[in-house]
Chain A
Amino acid sequence: MDAVIGKPRFVTPEETANRVWPPAGVPDLSATVTGQPRERAGVKARFTLKKQRNFLAKLFRHIFIRVDGQNPGTGRQRQSAIFLNAKTRPIGLDPLGGPIFCNGLGVIGAATVDNDDFLRPLDCAQRALQPRCFILGDQNDRDRQRSGGKGHVWRRLAGVLHPKKEHCDATISHIEEGCLRLATWLSMTPSLTRFIFALFVSCCCGLPSAFAQFRVDVSGVGLTQVPIAFANFRDEQSSPQKIAAIVQADLERSGQFRGLAAGQVLDETARPDISGFRQKGADALLTGSVTRLADGRFDIRFRLWDVVKGQDLGGASYAVVAGDLRLAAHRIADFVYEKLTGERGVFSTRVAYVTKSGQRFNLWIADADGENAQAALTSPEPIISPSWAPNGQQLAYVSFESRKPVVYVHDVSTGKRRVLANFRGSNSAPAWSPDGQRLAVTLSRDGGSQIYLISASGGEPQRLTQSNSIDTEPVFSPDGSAIYFVSDRGGSPQIYRMPAQGGPVQRVTFTGNYNISPSLSADGRWMAYVSRVGGQYKLHVMDLNADKVQAITETSADERPSFAPNGRMVIYATQVQGREALMTTTLDGRITARLAGQTGDIREPHWGPFQK
């Protein structure tokens, strides 16, 4: 023990045989260690080793584990004490691409494990629910005769331990390892000050791990972008759309990826040279092929590789007509995005928007990147408030072609449309219920703009609001139980909420005197809306659970925010350098993109749902 004090290092194999496990300050998790841990003789400390251990044990119930390292070359033993981080952190990927958890615990900071240690596929699949893990070194470790680290993960402080031979990957950052070494060293002395410091350090180390996502930091362009190499797809020239280029553009536009050219043709059956790509600095690799089928369709196949671990993350194949080639590429981008970030991608969704060109108004349906726009409606009179049905097949909107606002429901692929609401006066602001059965609309048939519910197949509307003020812009909550809307019953337009069948009204916005155009995220947690601040109309995001509001844009003429179906981004209309534009932004405002659109003034976006 004396040899270790003052030096932040782990014990050498020579010391292993002689020393006491665990080191002082680290709770003993092993039921198989014989004898009581020795207390250091002659040291009068208020905090004895035993007390320290018990205290830490209670405090960090699932944190410390013991790792027995074994050098695969020499077979020498090593021991380390390492942290486990929070339950929710995935620490590896199984061959099917799903994140795996090691007993609900991750492994960080083991001295004997480094970043490219890998899993044995067979063991992983079982492991998700099993209590223990092994850390297996990789071929490099063996080659260089370094310790790859076979780790026994001890399940809990209390309870019987059954070390099993299961394997798991450890992804460690240097910072975490440094924290660990420091905490372990600090806890090796019976000093109270150092013990408290050890607590503090271990808390700090535990916390970031609890929130860090596996491998990808989604905090902004330029901060952390996952480098991904794109191989040239085999026979891509036979396709009118460049599949790999579309996937790359999608992923780069999210701000979370950086594309590298692989410089070679690799199809989905090829076994790539992983270490070669590692040297190029890629973390992942996309390969694939395009085949023209006899019936004129195209067969798109791809495979995604985890270059760091040398693993196949899976792939798929899509057989599509030429008109759906871009959609297939967007689906590939979604697959890659979901595998590497854990979040569902929205690249294969569509957006609707309106343009005005001279005296011509068009309602466009485009891919989420703004490309491939096709006109659903063209009219000499304005079109506003397009609203996607939850099934992604129909669009409700307000058209002024009859020289008054009328609500239509329009089947996008066939062009068939019908009038949903053409009552006396103005009919506007259609919003679908989450089950697609009803729409909330604003009608002035009874005098004044009030909110009504109407069946999606039309018919007699049911009035929901009863006020002498303006009630408009209804939007359903994602669970369909409530409707958020804009009302100036308080003297100025604010956002309120009421039950979906009508009923008592609750106010939601309290800051500012002009709050309109609510849009809710799919998890019901966030509301995006427009607030007038100092004469400027700015997009705000409110955390409905925490009642916190944040303005997230630099522009001053924001309109009509609409959440992406994964709740991570918002599309809105604004003016950039005097011209109307559509922008997308993440909820913190850090990653933004301007959408390519058709020429002319562009406005009224609405983000469509996930495509089946």
Chain B
Amino acid sequence: MKKFLFSCAVVLALAGCASGVKLNDVPVEDKTGAAASSNDAASSAQSGVTTVQAGKVSNIDPGPAGVGKVVYFDFDSFVIKADSQALIEAHARYLRADKNRRVSLEGHADDRGGREYNLALGQKRSEAVRKALGLLGVSDGQLEAVSFGKEKPAVPGNDEAAYAKNRRVEFNYR
């Protein structure tokens, strides 16, 4: 967020030099501190685009020790399998122990199919885990079920082995 605000300030400062606000291909200052390139100061380009750089979000909580952080699913399914039950119970205990702990349940789908539909499939998976945790007594305010769809595969590849590793929900403690 700070980076973004600083970038905005840089952009606005540069904009103050030109008669128009629009800049042509001015990259916002990145982490390595490279200076923004000069723009066509005379007037604005109708087809100009200004680049925005998004920063990274870091984790602050490692979660329960010694417990897996991933629940796997079958193809086109959001049913939690029996062998994931122990894992979910372990996480439920961890969350019940401290009401301030928050976890983001990140659902994923394998690479096949459209992005938005797979986002919704991943969402179904993360909500299944959320419901399971809720049934084990975790308060809903500690949970957020989100989805990455097929955007962040754990294992790249187009074979069934890779697909099986990508149909998952990850526990991401904040």
Query: Is B113 a contact partner of A447 (Cβ separation < 8 A)?
Result: no
A404 to B144, CA, bound (A): 10
Contacting pair A410 B144 (CB below 8 A): no
Residue B169 CB within 8 A of the other chain: no
Q: Which of A414, A425, A472 contacts B117 (CB 8 A)?
A: A472
Task: Judge whether B47 and A350 touch: CB under 8 Å.
Answer: yes
Contact A517 B116 (CB under 8 A): yes
Closest A residue, CB atoms, query B56: A380
Question: CB within 8 Å of B: which of A340-378?
Answer: 350, 365, 367, 372, 374-378
Q: Cβ of B114 and Cβ of A442 under 8 Å apart?
A: no
Give A376's nearest chain B residue, CB to CB.
B49
Is A448 an interface position by the 8 A CB rule? yes
**Is A554 an interface residue, CB under 8 A from the partner?**
no
* Contact between B104 and A376, CB atoms less than 8 A apart: no
Tell me whether A234 is interfacial, beta carbon within 8 Å: no
B47 touches A472 (CB 8 A): no
Bound complex: CA A290 to CA B58 (Å): 53
Residue contact A384 to B52, C-beta cutoff 8 Å = no
**Roughly how many angstroms separate A473 CA and B121 CA in the complex, as a whole number?**
13
Does A327 make an interface contact (CB < 8 A)? Answer: yes
Task: Please judge, given known A-B contacts A404-B146, A517-B116, whether A321 and B44 are in contact too, CB under 8 Å.
Answer: yes
Structural contact, B40 and A322, CB atoms closer than 8 A: yes
Q: Is residue A559 within 8 Å, beta carbon to beta carbon, of the partner chain? A: yes
Given contacts A374-B48, A426-B123, A444-B123, whether A414 and B116 have CB atoms under 8 Å apart is: no
Residue numbers in B under 8 Å from A321 (CB-CB): 40, 42-45
Q: Complex formed: what's the CA distance from A470 to B149 in Å? A: 13
User: Given the interface contacts A380-B56, A413-B22, A426-B123, does A472 sit within 8 Å of B116 by beta carbon?
Assistant: yes
Q: Indicate whether A444 sits within 8 Å of B51 (C-beta atoms), given known contacts A323-B45, A424-B144, A560-B114.
A: no
CB contacts (< 8 Å) of A429 on chain B: these are 116, 119
Q: Could you mark each residue 2-29 of chain B with 1 if its beta carbon is under 8 Å from any beta carbon of chain A, else 0?
A: 0000001001000100000111110110
Q: Does B154 contact A (CB under 8 A)?
A: no
Query: Could you tell me the distance in whole angstroms from the C-beta of A382 to the nearest C-beta in chain B?
Result: 4
Query: Which of B24, B50, B56, B120 has the most chain A CB within a 10 Å cutoff?
Result: B120
CB distance from A532 to the nearest CB of B (A): 7
Q: What is the CA–CA distance of A322 and B40 in the complex, to the nearest angstrom? A: 8
Q: Does A259 contact B (CB under 8 A)?
A: no
B116 and A378 contact, CB distance less than 8 A? no
| Alpha-carbon separation in the docked complex, A377 to B119 (Å) | 21
Residues of A within 8 A of B114 (CB): 473, 516-517, 530, 537, 559-560
Residue contact B54 to A378, C-beta cutoff 8 Å: yes
Contact B46 A324 (CB under 8 A): yes
A296–B54 CB distance below 8 A: no
- Residues from chain A with Cβ under 8 Å of B112 in the complex: 537
Q: Is B93 an interface residue (CB 8 A)?
A: no
Query: Which residues of the other chain, A, contact B49 by a CB distance below 8 angstroms?
Result: 365, 374-376, 412-413, 415
B110 within 8 A of A: no
Q: Using A321-B43, A372-B47, A516-B113 as known contacts, say yes or no to A405 and B54 having CB atoms under 8 A apart.
A: no
Is the CB–CB distance between A377 and B51 below 8 Å? Answer: yes
Interfacial residues of chain B within 125-151, with CB under 8 A of chain A in the complex: 127, 144-149, 151
The yes or no answer to A401 lying at the interface (CB within 8 A) is: yes
Q: Does A514 contact B (CB under 8 A)?
A: yes
CB proximity of B146 to chain A, nearest CB, Å: 4
Kindly state the separation between the CA atoms of A531 and B52 in the bound complex, as whole angstroms: 35
Q: Tell whether, in the assembled complex, residue A379 and residue B47 are in contact, meaning their CB atoms are under 8 Å apart.
A: no
Are A514 and B46 in contact, CB atoms less than 8 angstroms apart?
Answer: no
**A298 → chain B closest CB, angstroms:** 11
Contact B47 A401 (CB under 8 A): no
* Residues of A within 8 A of B (CB-CB), count: 65
B55 interfacial contact with A, CB 8 Å: yes
Q: How far is the CA of A379 from the CA of B147 in the complex (A)?
A: 18
Contacts of A327 in B (CB 8 A): 46-47
Instruction: Tell me the bound Cα distance from A470 to B127 in angstroms.
Output: 12
Q: How far does the alpha carbon of A611 sit from the alpha carbon of B47 in the complex, in Å?
A: 10
Measured CB to CB, the closest approach of chain B to A241, in angstroms, equals: 12
What is the chain B residue whose CB lies nearest that of A474?
B116
- A295 and B54 in contact, given A324-B47, A426-B147 (Cβ under 8 angstroms): no
The CA of A429 and the CA of B25, in the complex, are separated in Å by 27
Complexed CA–CA distance, A447 and B11 (Å): 39
Name B98-116 residues within 8 Å CB distance of A: 104, 106, 112-116
Within A492-540, the residues touching B (CB, 8 Å) are: 493, 514, 516-517, 530, 532, 537
**Minimum distance in angstroms from B174 CB to a CB of chain A:** 8
Asked if B124 is an interface residue, CB under 8 A from chain A, the answer is: yes
Instruction: Specify the chain B residue showing the minimal Cβ separation from A416.
Output: B8
User: When the two chains form their complex, are residues B104 and A559 in contact, meaning their CB atoms are under 8 A apart?
Assistant: no
With contacts A405-B119, A444-B127 taken as known, whether A537 is within 8 angstroms of B42 at the C-beta atoms is: no
A376 and B52 within 8 A (CB): yes
Beyond A415-B28, A426-B119, A473-B116, is A405–B46 a contact (Cβ under 8 Å)?
no
Residues B54 and A381 in contact, CB atoms below 8 Å apart: yes
Closest Cβ neighbor of B76 among chain A residues: A492
- Alpha-carbon distance between A381 and B56 when the two chains are bound, in angstroms: 8
Whether B57 is near chain A, meaning CB under 8 Å from some CB there, is: yes
Bound: A486/B113 CA distance, A: 13
A403 to B106, CA, bound (A): 9
Known: A403-B172, A426-B123. A415 touches B116 (CB 8 A): no
A404 touches B104 (CB 8 A): yes
In the complex, chain A residues 466-506 whose Cβ is within 8 Å of any chain B Cβ: 470, 472-473, 486, 493
Q: Could you say which residues of chain A place their CB within 8 Å of the CB of B115?
A: 384-385, 559-560, 603-604
Contact A375 B146 (CB under 8 A): no
Query: A449 at the A/B interface (Cβ < 8 Å)?
Result: yes
Fill in one digit per residue for A595-612: 1 if any B CB lies within 8 Å of its CB, else 0.
000000001100000010
Complex Cα distance, B114 from A415, in Å, reads 28
- Residue-wise, chain B 43-77 has the 8 Å CB interface mask toward A (1 for contact) of 11111111111111100000000000000000000
Chain B CB within 10 A, most for which of A402, A444, A530: A444
The answer to whether B42 and A297 have CB atoms under 8 Å apart is yes
Can you show 10 pairs from A to B with CB atoms below 8 A apart?
A: A297-B42, A324-B46, A376-B50, A410-B52, A414-B11, A414-B22, A470-B117, A470-B121, A472-B119, A559-B114
Interface residues of chain B, those whose CB is within 8 Å of chain A, are 8, 11, 15, 21-25, 27-28, 40, 42-57, 104, 106, 112-117, 119-121, 123-124, 127, 144-149, 151-152, 172
Top 6 nearest A-B pairs (CB, nearest first) are: A323-B45, A415-B50, A374-B49, A379-B54, A382-B151, A449-B120
